[in-house]
Chains A and B, each alone.
Chain A
């Protein structure tokens, strides 16, 4: 491939928007292949990578649509590349088909969705957080996704790196669920020296190619090592239900075992995947659950409530999937109420309900604007009253 003429990692203090930070995070994580189709508010990711990838020896390709983009990054991943695409709601919908193929055939790659208002074309240029459940359930069949929710340009960088690492570690397409506000907001982003960035590479077969190699025989961690095309393993990969040889089968027992493993390989590692940030939750009577851009307003609201003597706290979700259920359960033992603040009609509120008996009040908006801190503060005060 091309010769590198620029630094892959832009170490230092940068001032950039969240989309650009995401692109830089991808490069820092070792991404060498991007396939995409332009869509607001994610386009700046593609534009940045169109310039930067060729300059660091990688490849940018603009596909004819998002069906193709998703298919292309799966193919690139099987060629051994760390690959990604970036989109927003309408494109995310089109990607669902091959996200399913990626889940079924266990392909490491990263899909960034900078959320805008939906359904359909919705609000192309304005914020929402309404694709949370689509990220969980969007493709048919059962699977367990990983989705990160960045709340700043810095996290667009950091969590994109983590998304690549999780994709490689657990072998699946991993989602970065940004939103328009975080994608377009410009802030300081600190990029560490390359040597200080944790990089995970997929597990490789421990033995050289031979006839007995089983591409879908999992190790104890439930994850099968991955060979890449052209290495001599002569594997067959199919989106049909397959056995450990990778061969299709209609056996319901094999199907059940496979689909359960695809979910369990994430569930058994939920503790190492799940991330939250807690602010003043130890003694909190009212805990606000928020994520992404909304968590920034929620933080102000919680601090304002504290100033008024209200024992409020913030639980900021950094991973949405797997849902950090353990923390919600624990806080349910010490708090008296939850307030969920989000830019949709209650997607995470509904998920939280599964893990607590405490009353949950929902403060939300369908999208198109941020929730002002005062609105969240009012919800805290009402909850506390």
Chain B
């Protein structure tokens, strides 16, 4: 293919580390548009870009921190939330967003997530759920639907999976949403809301991982999975979250929306020690 340069600048150039491109993600991966939503939401927020900090764990999603041109930390597997907790508590003026994968946040890092939500630390958590451990080549994790084939579930996954918005809501997260890499407008708006909101916010973003998951589970390429999101997602903010499990089959619906927006005292703000 012969490439002709149409424009020299990208609208997100100021927010991306152009010197690190091309990125490492596979063709058809959902991470690119999700990261763009994050960049746009940061740019549109009332908070100066210098005060935004992004913290990631390890995984394909964990690489987001390295492409965004803000102070950013690529930490250890499962630990971005406690790392972010330290950053935020030691310097409350920072706007701290954790951007990491489903395995990072709910398997190895699950304990940290539940405690940060309980405390209501003022950080935002964006979890890209691609239903598997993408980085290590498509193994099953805590969000892999039952029956799914992965490299470590060759006979079909026997573990029940987490329903992330339900879990986050139960833990006391003050804002909970679920979108997909297709719902870029809604996602960007949700991230803006999360940035504005004080307390522990949680956004799940479903994302195709054709290489690690899609192809071996009859979901096809990245675009095919986006098509599945388009046809099967139902925006239903009032949903009973116990009904929001994901089977990821061609005949099953996926409930998306802004599910929770509540007020709770924020950790460390006006507590006994202040």
Write the residues of chain A forming the contact surface with B, with a CB cutoff of 8 angstroms: 1-2, 32-33, 35, 54, 59-61, 63-65, 67-69, 71-81, 83, 97-98, 100-101, 228-240, 245, 247-248
Contacts and interface: CB of A to CB of B under 8 A. Distances in A.
Interface residues of B, number: 39
A60 to B, nearest CB: 8
A63 B82 contact: yes
Contacts of A61: 85-86, 89
Contacts of A73: 86
Contacts of A235: 71-72
Contact of B87 (A69, A79, A240): A79
A230 B90 contact: no
A238 B268 CA distance: 28
Contacts of A77: 86, 90
A234 B66 contact: no
Given A75-B87, A83-B90, A230-B71, A236 B115 contact: no
B91 A79 contact: yes
B261 interface: no
Contacts of A234: 50, 69-71
Contact of B50 (A79, A81, A101, A231): A231
Nearest to B49: A234
Given A74-B86, A97-B79, A238-B74, 10 more contacts: A68-B82, A75-B88, A230-B53, A230-B94, A232-B50, A233-B71, A236-B71, A237-B74, A238-B65, A238-B66
Contact of A33 (B73, B76, B86, B111): B86
B78 to A, nearest CB: 8
Interface of B: 17, 19-20, 50-51, 53, 55, 65-66, 69-76, 78-79, 81-94, 111-112, 115, 268, 273-274
Query: Dominant SS at the A interface?
Result: mixed
A245 B20 CA distance: 11
A134 B131 CA distance: 37
Contacts of B273: 2, 54, 59-60
Given A63-B82, A79-B94, A98-B79, A236 B66 contact: yes
16 contacts: A32-B90, A54-B273, A61-B89, A63-B85, A71-B76, A71-B79, A72-B85, A72-B89, A75-B87, A75-B90, A76-B86, A83-B86, A228-B91, A230-B91, A236-B17, A237-B74
Contacts of B268: 59
Contacts of A67: 78-79, 82, 112
A236 B89 contact: no
Contacts of A236: 17, 65-66, 71-74
A230 B79 contact: no
